[in-house]
Amino acid sequence: MAPPASRAVLIDQCQIQPQRRRWREEKQTLQKDLDHKLFGQHLAKKVILNALTGFISNPKPKKPLTLSLHGWTGTGKNFASKIIAENIYEGGLHSHYVHLFVATLHFPHASNLTLYKDQLQLWIRGNVSACARSIFIFDEMDKMHAGLIDAIKPFLDYYDHVDGVSYQKAIFIFLSNAGAERITDVALDFWRSGRQREEIKLGDMEHALSVSAFNNKNSGFWHSSLIDRNLIDYFIPFLPLEYKHLKMCIRVEMQARGYDVDEDIVTRVADEMTFFPKEERVFSDKGCKTVFTKLDYYYDD
Ligand SMILES: Nc1ncnc2c1ncn2[C@@H]1O[C@H](COP(=O)(O)OP(=O)(O)OP(=O)(O)O)[C@@H](O)[C@H]1O
């Protein structure tokens, strides 16, 4: 991992506390982005918007904002964190102040745990020293060694300072498939009882989610002190996507490539995707993933 960029560059553009008016505008942009770009995730949209706007407009937060996004593959967890990053910093995920870690890429060998812990703590400390409102995104948390997750804990707790650095304005976003089964069970229950997915409330999910992530032996969160110390502010469920959402993803991709939307191709690509459970075939096995490569087949120019 490269060392944090020089102090002078980071401080100049770092958004310690955006002006109130500026943030009101940014809140509207964030809401518009979430409403127009993120499909089928009414709970995630609401929680992300309220959590972020509340946190950023608070001049004295007691602790960093910690969001844990859970759900099936291809449902928009990475996509949502990209939207968040783009609404806080120019350049989004490429900004100096946004740091993305992928467990299997950055921390692949359990035998190097001590080295990873030292590096990660140094990296977080260095970047927050340079910019208090740094954003750290951890993808594949369910594959992250529990010891490494606990190494992050001091930064997430209710401390004014840790070794002279305050982490209270930082934002930590954890992405994980842990709890996806539980989320799907709830979504399927609603579907089977003829209720709209938009009727699902956070209360139907959150406790079960934290418990299932905490108790899932395969999850990096398993018995992690992040959960039992209540250091995670929001567990945000991403619901499995349906056929209609895939079509929305395909249309967006067609437009992104400069093509007119051809509903015949939209239907053909969506029909190539596989769905579960076997009987009802309600939810996409891969979410919106792979629809883009399938589209290549129809546009071979
Ligand atoms: N809910 C959604 N609304 C709009 N586009 C979506 C949605 N979910 C996925 N996509 C599209 O599919 C791409 C891949 O999704 P993304 O990487 O966010 O999935 P994920 O939930 O992070 O999956 P994984 O758990 O496998 O990492 C996104 O970049 C986006 O283009």
Residue 62 lies in a domain: yes
Domain of 124 in residue numbering reads as 21-238
Using DSSP's 3-state secondary structure scheme, residue 136 falls into strand
Q: What's the pLDDT score for residue 159?
A: 82
Q: What's the pLDDT score for residue 3?
A: 44
Both 173 and 74 in one domain: the answer is yes
Strands in 90-193 per DSSP E: 98-102, 135-139, 171-176
Q: What's the pLDDT score for residue 191?
A: 96
Q: What's the pLDDT score for residue 140?
A: 93
**What is the reported pTM?**
0.91
Cβ of 39 below 6 Å from ligand 1: yes
State the CATH number of the domain containing residue 72.
3.40.50.300
Q: Quote the ligand 1 centre to 18 CA distance (angstroms).
A: 29
Cβ of 286 below 6 Å from ligand 1: no
- Cβ distance 46 to 67 under 8 Å? no
Cβ of 249 below 6 Å from ligand 1: yes
Closest C-alpha to ligand 1, atom 29: 79
Cβ of 176 below 6 Å from ligand 1: no
- Cβ distance 106 to 1 under 8 Å? yes
Please state the length of the chain.
301
Give, for ligand 1, the residue of 45, 138, 289, 293 to mutate: max count of ligand atoms closer than 8 Å to Cβ: 289
- The string of DSSP codes covering 64-92 is -EEEEEEESTTSSHHHHHHHHHHHHSTTG
Both 290 and 217 in one domain: the answer is no
Vertex 46: Cα angle to 290 and 195 (nearest 5): 75
Residue 6 lies in a domain: no
Residue 25 lies in a domain: yes
Q: Quote the ligand 1 centre to 75 CA distance (angstroms).
A: 5
Q: What's the pLDDT score for residue 225?
A: 59
Cβ of 225 below 6 Å from ligand 1: no
Q: What's the pLDDT score for residue 26?
A: 74
pLDDT in tens, the chain (301 residues): 444 443 322 323 686 655 556 667 778 889 999 999 999 999 999 999 999 999 988 989 999 999 999 999 999 999 999 999 999 888 899 999 999 999 999 999 999 999 999 999 999 999 999 999 999 999 998 888 888 888 998 999 888 888 899 999 999 999 999 889 989 999 999 999 999 999 999 888 866 676 666 666 665 555 555 666 678 899 899 999 999 999 999 999 999 999 999 999 999 999 999 999 999 999 999 999 989 899 998 887 6
Both 174 and 290 in one domain: the answer is no
List binding-site positions for ATP: 71-78
Q: What's the pLDDT score for residue 7?
A: 30
Q: Quote the ligand 1 centre to 33 CA distance (angstroms).
A: 15
Which tokens in the block code for residue 84?
Answer: 């968040």
Q: What's the pLDDT score for residue 224?
A: 59
Residue 135 lies in a domain: yes
d(CA 126, CA 89): 19
Both 281 and 135 in one domain: the answer is no
d(CA 209, CA 43): 13
AA letter at 238: F
Both 106 and 172 in one domain: the answer is yes
